[in-house]
Amino acid sequence: MRLSAVLHLAKALEYCTRKGRALYHDLNAYRVLFDEDGNPKLSSFGLMKTAGMENLIGQMWLLLLQSFLRAGRVATESVIYSFGTLLLDLLSGKHIPPSHVSVHH
């Protein structure tokens, strides 16, 4: 099931990128919803406001902003990197924060 979800998400991201809509620069497990048939769907609204995530969210937005300011747009590389971190989360079954983001508890 996890590999099927990854394939569906990869196709959706490829479609968005091909259409010039690299929208999912901050893709993460909280932006993936499943319908009643178990098919993954990308969401774009903020479901990340869970307890203890606010600091990490702010740091992720800071990294995104720096990338956006350098390129003037959301880079395809940023989408690919975000997909890679999501892939790692899905296949490992754990949330693994990016190594360059410090998480303070």
- What angle is formed at CA 78 by the lines to CA 83 and CA 4, rounded to 5 degrees? 15
* Catalytic residue set: 26
Beta bridge partners of 32: 42
Distance CA 105, CA 93 (A): 21
Beta bridge partners of 34: 40
Which three-class secondary structure state does DSSP give residue 52? coil
